[in-house]
């Protein structure tokens, strides 16, 4: 542990305060402003589409400006986009809200690199634990996000306009944290090309499984999480109940971060990711068994823990697929694929939950979960053959 790792963990927590709050309110604000109900989650989709579109520019700024300056730029965009969201909510402009969340995707594309930066702050033998510990910083978002949304939803006289203003203040606080941090010097570029071409990196089985598990695991989690406030509203629950469920979901996402790295060290990354697949399946089974508050709470908690095992494992697994000089293009490609899948899941969640219902939404999440499990078994078989 070192000072910069602690500060990066705090920065991760503030980033996920923004993420969790966006997930909690964007669908509801969208539902109140959208011309049609099935468009409700377009603002959620805009956030992840923006993340996908900005992965390239963010990778460029990371390479040219370094970690710290690129992260500062992301927070500047976070402040501007949150203020624009507040204005859109206040003036009841649905398409302006979608545009503002699209712009906010730049901050998301930056923040998703915090976990990779953590591995650069410690010795190689401690990378798994560093990634896991920084991921645990999301616990701040688990508590702060839903409570921030609940306490500020009526602050400005328009539902959730005050919440967006509060998120701008959270980004300013993150700037203060970042100001006192130090990052290692960027790695030297290997010759003119900076390492292998992206196509060669991406064809490695270990990269295919890592990127696929991160993208599909995040996509399924986003599919169910984004739809939960809408599904609970359809079932007659108050927003405070949905905030409570999301709080426990995000606790499940990040509380394991204190020990996931130890589990990976002891049992192997593929085994831990396999447990993540099983927890996703348990979440779906429980969600299909009923729509009581306990069903929503426990199912979303299991979904969070399963996501943590898959996502932390995928991030750790990917570290063996590229060199330091190749990090920006490899990490950018992983995040682009993740955001692309999340964009599809964000849009699908609104369409499915408002037209087909909660049960069909959960059934639709089964194929990607099973595909991740098949990928893990494939890579495990290859590794055993190679060892033999």
The 10s digit of each residue's pLDDT in 330-361 is 988 898 888 888 888 877 877 787 788 888 88
Establish if 190 belongs to a structural domain. Answer: no
pLDDT of residue 175: 95
State residue 288's pLDDT score.
94
Cα radius of gyration (the chain) = 20
Q: Is pLDDT at 13 greater than 80 in this prediction? A: yes
- Those residues whose C-beta lies under 8 Å from the C-beta of residue 51, and which sit 6 or more positions away, are 105, 106, 108, 109, 112, 335, 339, 342
Max mean pLDDT range (118-127, 147-156, 358-367): 358-367
Supply the CATH number for residue 106's domain.
1.20.1250.20
Contact 217, 311 (CB under 8 A): yes
Q: What is the pLDDT of residues 64-123, one digit of tens each?
A: 888 899 999 999 999 999 999 999 999 999 999 999 999 999 999 899 889 888 888 888
Burial of 141 (0-12, 13-18, 19+ CB in 10 A): buried
Residue 289 has pLDDT above 60, yes or no: yes
Looking at 34-137, list the stretches that DSSP marks H as alpha helix, in order from N- to C-terminal side: 42-53, 55-91, 94-111, 114-118, 127-136
Torsion, Cα 326 103 53 61, to 10 degrees, reads: -20
Per-residue pLDDT averaged across 256-284, rounded? 93
Task: Name the 3-class secondary structure at 315.
Answer: helix
C-beta separation of 101 from 26 below 8 A: yes
Range of the domain at 105: 3-183+195-387
Q: Is the pLDDT of residue 32 over 90?
A: no
For residues 266-293, average pLDDT = 94
pLDDT at res. 188: 57
Judged by phi (left if over 0) then psi (alpha if -120 to 50, else beta), residue 66 lies in: left
In a domain, 151, yes or no: yes
What is residue 286's three-state secondary structure?
helix
Distance CA 174, CA 8 (A): 10
Residue 190 pLDDT: 41
- The model's pTM is 0.74
Res. 48: pLDDT tops 90: no
191 pLDDT higher than 50: no
pLDDT at residue 335 in the model: 84
In a domain, 189, yes or no: no
| Total number of domains in the chain | 1
Cα–Cα distance measured from residue 269 to residue 355, given in angstroms and rounded to the nearest whole number: 38
pLDDT category at 47 given cuts 50, 70, 90 is confident
Q: What is the mean pLDDT of the chain?
A: 88
Model confidence at 194, in pLDDT bands (50, 70, 90)? low
DSSP 8-state assignment for residue 58: H
Mean pLDDT of 231-237: 88
pLDDT at 217: 92
Whether 66 maps to a domain, the answer reads: yes
**Any domain includes 150:** yes
Query: How large is the average pLDDT for residues 275-281?
Result: 97
| Sign of the torsion angle spanned by Cα atoms 246, 144, 148, 343 | negative
Return the pLDDT at 30.
85
Helix (H, G, I), strand (E, B) or coil at 123: coil
What integer pLDDT is reported at residue 258 of this predicted model?
Answer: 83
pLDDT score, position 186: 67
Q: CA–CA separation, 160 vs 147, rounded Å?
A: 12
Instruction: Give me the percent of the chain exceeding a pLDDT of 70.
Output: 97
Q: When comparing pLDDT for 206 and 335, which is higher? A: 206
pLDDT of 192 reads: 40
Identify whether 188 is part of a domain: no
Residue 52 in any domain: the answer is yes
């Amino acid at each position: 542990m070192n000072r910069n790792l602690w500060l990066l963990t705090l920065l991760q927590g503030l980033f996920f305060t923004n993420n969790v709050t966006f997930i909690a309110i964007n669908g509801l604000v969208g539902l109140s402003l959208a011309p049609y109900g099935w468009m409700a989650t377009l603002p959620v989709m805009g956030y992840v589409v923006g993340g996908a579109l900005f992965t390239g520019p963010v990778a460029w700024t990371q390479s040219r400006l370094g970690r710290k300056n690129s992260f500062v730029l992301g927070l500047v965009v976070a402040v501007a986009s949150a203020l624009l969201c507040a204005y859109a909510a206040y003036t009841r402009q649905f398409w302006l809200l979608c545009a503002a969340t699209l712009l906010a995707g730049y901050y998301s594309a930056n923040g998703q690199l915090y976990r990779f930066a953590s591995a650069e702050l410690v010795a190689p033998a401690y990378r798994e634990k560093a990634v896991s510990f920084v991921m645990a910083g999301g616990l701040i978002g688990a508590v702060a996000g839903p409570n921030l949304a609940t306490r500020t939803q009526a602050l400005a006289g328009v539902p959730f306009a005050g919440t967006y203003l509060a998120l701008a203040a959270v980004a300013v606080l993150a700037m203060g944290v970042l100001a006192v941090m130090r990052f290692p010097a960027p790695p030297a570029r290997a010759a003119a090309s900076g390492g292998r071409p992206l196509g060669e990196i991406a064809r490695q089985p270990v990269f295919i499984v890592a990127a696929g598990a991160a993208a599909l695991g995040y996509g399924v989690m986003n599919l169910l999480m984004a739809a939960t406030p809408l599904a609970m509203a359809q079932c007659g629950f108050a927003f405070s109940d949905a905030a409570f469920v999301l709080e426990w979901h995000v606790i499940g996402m990040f509380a394991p971060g204190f020990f996931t790295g130890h589990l990976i060290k002891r049992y192997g990354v593929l085994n831990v990711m396999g447990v993540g697949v099983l927890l996703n399946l348990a979440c779906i089974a429980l969600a299909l068994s009923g729509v009581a508050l306990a069903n929503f709470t426990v199912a979303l908690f299991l979904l969070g823990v399963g996501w943590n095992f898959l996502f932390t494992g995928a991030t750790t697994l990917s570290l063996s697929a590229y060199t330091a000089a190749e990090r920006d293009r490899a990490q950018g490609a992983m995040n682009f694929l993740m955001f692309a899948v999340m964009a599809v899941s964000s849009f699908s969640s609104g369409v499915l939950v408002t037209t087909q219902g909660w049960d069909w939404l959960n059934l639709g999440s089964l194929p990607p979960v099973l595909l991740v499990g098949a990928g893990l078994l494939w890579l495990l078989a290859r590794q055993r053959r190679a060892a033999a």
